[in-house]
């Protein structure tokens, strides 16, 4: 599994040893390898994680989702928004570009689009992405579209006629992150890539970018009245149980009839739909100045055993007010909260002398964890190793493993562990250890 790698050195060592492709990788592993290799060459480089990352192949800065008039999503027609995507930045001069574009350059070791017969992406000045300078080339358009974009919902009738009915503003490019220097913490770099959503600067940049990509704003047909206020709430509990509510408030002096359709779909992190889990239809009569609620509930035991570990639940909601043709559309992502992998050391960390690292995990789900494995790595401490977990871990049961470590070098070190199983992936833990040389007294 790509999630089993805790560091790039073990991947490079396996490649050097076998002289063939190492299995398997995803964007985060390719990015990590690029970081290691570029730093070894003396080029400052870091990994960048973009949450809610758009794959907008036509560079329209618009993510299009399509629905039937009855409210069912036509998923295979959609542009995609990945849960996350990882690329790189390197710091160097750009004598090939106009003045002002030196510094951090973004490039993607997992390019998603073909340019002149080659899959490539970058290097593009981060400043150009922020300022909407899409004329520079080097895939600036694609990178800009990954972090900027509105979601437009369309209905498609039986003859293929499309009508835009709803728009969500600025839904991609969230919590952009890199590792902070010298600490195990997150450094937010979102402001390096884009201006604040409601700022004048952001509006000016989008207008400029639209000029380069030929996009015009989509006009949403307004209903005769928009007097029903919708709000979606709820989440997934640690057990995997899910309860989602659509609240509807009628602010008019007349009754309103609202047709609501909700469907939960198991989806890969790359937005590829897998299986439909549950759907709900309801007709809600809202009296004047009154509220109503439509809900969808899902037990963890109903779906957790059928999901891939890196899947999530996509919830599609469509509500239509009969009297006014007001439409509310939403697509939200819900995933089970990852538990913590607890790492604790016992004994002093002295060069050449073994000490114990205790790894603990409590299963929070309502189903057993099966097919588990534990991977551990620590430069200067422990070589990459993997332990297969033969027995299942029941609901609320604690898993504990003790691993002996013998430090090879003094200094402040990190030990990284990750747990994978059929139901969960990328459950990680880190512990910092101060290793000292043996006393000569």
Is 21 among the domain residues? Answer: no
Same domain, 118 and 58: yes
Q: Are residues 252 and 301 in the same domain?
A: yes
- Is residue 198 located within the same domain as residue 63? yes
* Residue at 203 is within a domain: yes
pLDDT above 90: residue 211: no
Mean pLDDT within 368-390: 87
* Last residue of one domain, picked from the residues 334, 355, 381: 334
User: Are residues 169 and 259 both part of a single domain?
Assistant: no
Q: Is the pLDDT confidence value at 215 over 80? A: no
Q: Is the Cβ–Cβ distance between 136 and 125 less than 8 Å?
A: yes
Inform me whether the pLDDT recorded for 116 exceeds 70: no
In a domain, 313, yes or no: yes
Q: What is the mean pLDDT of residues 336-360?
A: 89
Helix ranges (H only) for 41-181 are 126-131, 140-147
pLDDT, residue 30, reads: 95
pLDDT value at 441 more than 60: no
| 363 in Cβ contact with 399 (< 8 Å) | yes
Domain boundary pick from 282, 305, 334 = 334
Highest mean pLDDT among 42-51, 191-200, 366-375: 42-51
Beta bridge partners of 159: none
pLDDT given for residue 166 in this prediction? 85
Are residues 173 and 47 located together in one domain of the fold?
yes
d(CA 190, CA 429): 25
64 and 207, same domain (yes or no): yes
Report the C-alpha gap between 153 and 207 in whole angstroms.
21
Domain count, the chain: 3
Active site residues: 27, 85, 108
Residue 36 DSSP SS3: helix
209 assigned to some structural domain: yes
Q: What is the pLDDT of residue 193?
A: 97
CATH of the domain at 101: 3.90.260.10
Does 275 fall in a domain? Answer: yes
Looking at 334, 369, 390, the residue that finishes a domain is 334
65 and 207 in a common domain = yes
Q: Which residue has the higher pLDDT, 418 or 158?
A: 418
**Strongest mean pLDDT among 45-49, 66-70, 72-76, 308-312:** 45-49
In a domain, 30, yes or no: no
Separation between Cα atoms, residue 372 and residue 368, nearest integer Å: 11
Indicate whether 367 and 293 sit together in one domain: no
At residue 68, the pLDDT reads 83
Considering the domain architecture, whether residues 365 and 303 belong to the same structural domain is answered as: no
- What is the rounded distance in angstroms from the CA atom of residue 51 to the CA atom of residue 139? 19
pLDDT, mean over the chain: 89
Question: Residue 256 is part of a domain; what is its CATH number?
Answer: 2.60.40.10
> Helix %, strand %, coil % for the chain, to 5?
15, 45, 40
User: Would you list the DSSP string of 113-137?
Assistant: SEETTEE----EEHHHHHHT-GGG-
Q: For residues 153, 52, 315 and 323, what is the CA-based torsion angle, rounded to 10 degrees?
A: -30
- pLDDT above 90 covers a percentage of the chain that reads 51
Listed residue (318, 317, 310, 338) closest to 83, CA to CA: 310
**Residue pair 87/31 in contact by the 8 Å Cβ criterion:** yes
34 within domain boundaries: no
pLDDT (tens digit per residue) in 58-86: 667 788 888 887 777 776 666 788 999 99
For residue 261, what are the contacts with CB-CB under 8 A and spacing of at least 6? 70, 71, 72, 279, 280, 281, 316, 317, 318, 319
Q: Is residue 257 part of a domain?
A: yes
Indicate whether 59 and 201 sit together in one domain. yes
Task: Return the pLDDT at 57.
Answer: 65
| Tokens linked to 397 | 């049961």
pLDDT in tens, 162-204: 888 888 888 899 999 999 998 878 999 999 999 998 899 998 9
Residue 235 structural domain: 228-334
Domain identity same for 171 and 253: no
Tell me how crowded residue 175 is: count the other CB atoms within 10 A of its CB: 13
Answer yes or no: is pLDDT of 359 > 60.
yes
Average pLDDT estimate for 226-252: 93
Mark whether 112 and 200 lie in a shared domain: yes
């Amino acid at each position: 599994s790509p999630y089993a790698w805790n560091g790039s050195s073990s991947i490079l060592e396996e490649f050097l040893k076998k002289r063939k492709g190492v299995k398997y990788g995803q964007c985060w592993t390719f990015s990590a390898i690029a970081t290691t290799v570029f730093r070894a060459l003396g080029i400052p480089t870091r990994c960048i994680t973009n949450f809610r990352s758009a794959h907008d192949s036509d560079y329209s800065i618009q993510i299009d989702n399509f629905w039937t008039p009855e409210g069912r999503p036509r998923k295979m027609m959609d542009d995609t928004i990945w849960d996350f995507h990882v690329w790189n930045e390197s710091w160097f001069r750009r004598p090939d570009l106009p003045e002002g574009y030196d510094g951090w350059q973004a490039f993607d070791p997992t390019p998603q689009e073909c340019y002149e017969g080659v899959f490539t992406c970058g290097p593009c000045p981060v400043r150009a992405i922020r300022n909407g300078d899409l004329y520079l080339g080097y895939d600036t358009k694609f990178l800009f579209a990954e972090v900027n974009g509105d979601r437009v919902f369309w209905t498609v009738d039986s003859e293929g006629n499309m009508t835009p009915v709803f728009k969500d503003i600025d839904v991609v490019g969230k919590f952009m992150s890199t590792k902070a220097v010298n600490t195990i913490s997150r450094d937010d770099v979102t402001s390096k890539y884009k201006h604040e959503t409601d700022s004048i600067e952001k509006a000016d940049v989008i207008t400029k970018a639209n000029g380069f990509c030929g996009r015009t704003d989509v006009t949403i047909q307004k209903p005769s009245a928009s007097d029903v206020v919708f709000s979606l709430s709820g989440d997934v509990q640690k057990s995997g149980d899910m309860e989602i509510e659509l609240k509807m408030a009628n602010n008019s002096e007349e009754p309103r009839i609202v047709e609501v359709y909700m469907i939960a779909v198991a989806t890969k992190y790359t937005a590829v739909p897998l299986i439909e889990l549950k759907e709900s239809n309801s007709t809600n009569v809202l009296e004047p100045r009154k509220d109503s609620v439509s809900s969808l509930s899902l037990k963890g035991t109903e779906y957790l055993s059928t999901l891939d570990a890196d899947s999530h639940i996509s919830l599609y909601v469509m509500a239509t007010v009969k009297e006014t043709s007001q439409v509310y559309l939403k697509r939200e992502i819900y995933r089970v909260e990852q538990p913590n992998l607890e790492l604790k050391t016992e004994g002093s960390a002295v060069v050449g002398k073994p000490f114990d690292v205790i790894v603990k995990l409590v299963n929070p789900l309502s189903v057993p964890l099966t097919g588990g494995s534990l991977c551990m790595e620590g430069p200067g401490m422990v070589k990459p190793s993997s332990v297969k977990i033969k027995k299942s871990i029941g609901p609320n049961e604690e898993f504990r493993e003790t691993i002996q470590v013998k430090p090879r070098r003094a200094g402040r070190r990190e030990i990284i562990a990750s747990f994978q199983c059929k139901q969960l992936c990328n459950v990680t833990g880190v512990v910092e250890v101060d290793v000292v040389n043996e006393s000569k007294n």
